[in-house]
Structure 1
Amino acid sequence: MILALLNQKGGVGKTTLALAVAGEWAMQGRRVILVDADPQGSALDWSEMRAREGLPRLFSVIGLARDTLHREAPALARDADLVVIDGPPRVAGLMRSALLATDMVLIPVQPSPFDGWASAEMLALISEARIYRPELVARFVLNRCGARTVLARDTAETLADHDPPALASRIGQRIAFAAAAQSGRIVRELDHESVAAREISALAAEVAHLGSPRSAS
């Protein structure tokens, strides 16, 4: 399966979620490749930090920030159980290429009306990609949710009736993600029983279930 995390809006946590999900799957024994398709190269920076810390490699991180991604990603998928694409903000050509390459796209949004409005362009690109990839699965994922906030609840309720809908799994606003990233780790390595680690585990499981042939829609 090829999974892409995409949103035209920056700062919604695409890289954090891409690394966390890739790491979760890798620690389950799956062969994972993460494609850093963001010109900023944050996932590559994380991989270099991990190497400097002397930590074993969890998964491969490859820089492919170019609009030929749809031609190159399928070849990577032959060498891995899962390919995770960390997409760019505001680069339409790269975004289109990533959408044509992927089986499933997750759109991270924060519980804010501004994030919802900013997603309109992303949804237009998904509709365009489905002309060529009608089987493309798309879901919103609520990220950086404050605990029990009315805004997070209202955003989740709004997206429940949306097309695409939101995943049931939500990710909280937790300093564990920043602490892990700064040391080239994922949250499960810091504390596998933490709330953050459990949230990522639930997210990865839900995505894997959606990506199965019987569940995808």
Structure 2
Amino acid sequence: MIYAFLNQKGGVGKTTLSIHTAAELALRGRRVLLIDADPQGSALAWSNCRETVDFTVVGMPKATIHKEIEMLAGDYDDVVIDGPPRVTELARSIILAADLVVVPLQPSQMDVWAASETIDLVREANVYKPDIGVCLVINRKIANTAIGRDVRTALKELGVPVLKSDIGQRVAFAETASTGSTVLPKRHSKASKEVKKLVNELRRLR
């Protein structure tokens, strides 16, 4: 299974969710490859700080991923791709490589607009590869706020599935970025439970 985390807007948490999805899949005994396809290389930088190597991370910010994905994925059960912001040939290549495009967004109108652009790219790619799936995941949600509730109403207009598994705005996620760790060792924490629910839902989609 090939999951691609994409949004044309930066700062929505693509890398955090990519890393945690890969880590959770690895904890379940899956052989996982995480491809850092963002020229900023944030996932690769995180990997260089890791103490525990439970899945493979490679950097590949090249617009040929869709041509090379079969060779890259050969030894793995799952591939997770951390994509770049902005509409680029690289983003289009990632979409063509993916089985499921996951669009993270924060609960704001600007993020909804950016998500719409990404969905349009997936629909363009469906002409060449009709079975590419797409879904939305709300990230960095602040609990018990009106905007956190109202964003789901706005997202209905985009006509694609919105995951029920929201990811909250939590310091724990930010703290893992510079330490090469994840929130998952604390299996009973709210952050860890959110990631587990997210991955459960992603796996049910395909």
> Could you tell me the TM-score, scaled by structure 1's length?
0.92
1:79 aligned to 2:75? yes
Q: Deviations over 1:137-167 (max 9, x none)?
A: 1001000000121101111233245321211
Q: Structure 2 unaligned runs (5+)?
A: none
Q: Distance in 2 between matches of 1:165 and 1:91?
A: 22
Per the alignment, residue 214 of structure 1 pairs with: none
Per the alignment, residue 62 of structure 1 pairs with: 58
Counterparts of 1:100-139 in structure 2, within 5 Å, are 100-139=96-135
Counterparts of 1:196-207 in structure 2, within 5 Å, are 196-207=191-202
Counterparts of 1:162-173 in structure 2, within 5 Å, are 162-173=158-169
- Counterpart residue type for residue 70 of structure 1: H
Per the alignment, residue 24 of structure 1 pairs with: 24
Question: Number of aligned pairs?
Answer: 206
Structure 1 residue matching 2:52: 3-state secondary structure: coil
Q: Deviations over 1:66-114 (max 9, x none)?
A: 0000011222222101000000011510000000000000000100011
Does structure 1 retain, via aligned residues, the 8 Å contact 2:24–2:195?
yes
Residues 55-64 or 16-25, more deviating: 55-64
Q: What is the CA-CA distance between 1:119 and the residue it aligns to?
A: 2.3
Q: Distance in 2 between matches of 1:63 and 1:110?
A: 26
Per the alignment, residue 89 of structure 1 pairs with: 85
> Could you tell me the TM-score, scaled by structure 2's length?
0.97
Per the alignment, residue 141 of structure 2 pairs with: 145
Structure 2 residue matching 1:131: 3-state secondary structure: coil
Q: What is the CA-CA distance between 1:121 and the residue it aligns to?
A: 2.1
Change (3 A) 1:157 1:91: closer
- Counterpart residue type for residue 197 of structure 1: S
- Counterpart residue type for residue 57 of structure 1: V
Per the alignment, residue 44 of structure 2 pairs with: 44
Q: Distance in 2 between matches of 1:161 and 1:122?
A: 14
Q: What is the CA-CA distance between 1:47 and the residue it aligns to?
A: 0.5
- Counterpart residue type for residue 13 of structure 2: G
Runs of 4+ deviating beyond 3 Å: none
Q: Distance in 2 between matches of 1:121 and 1:162?
A: 10
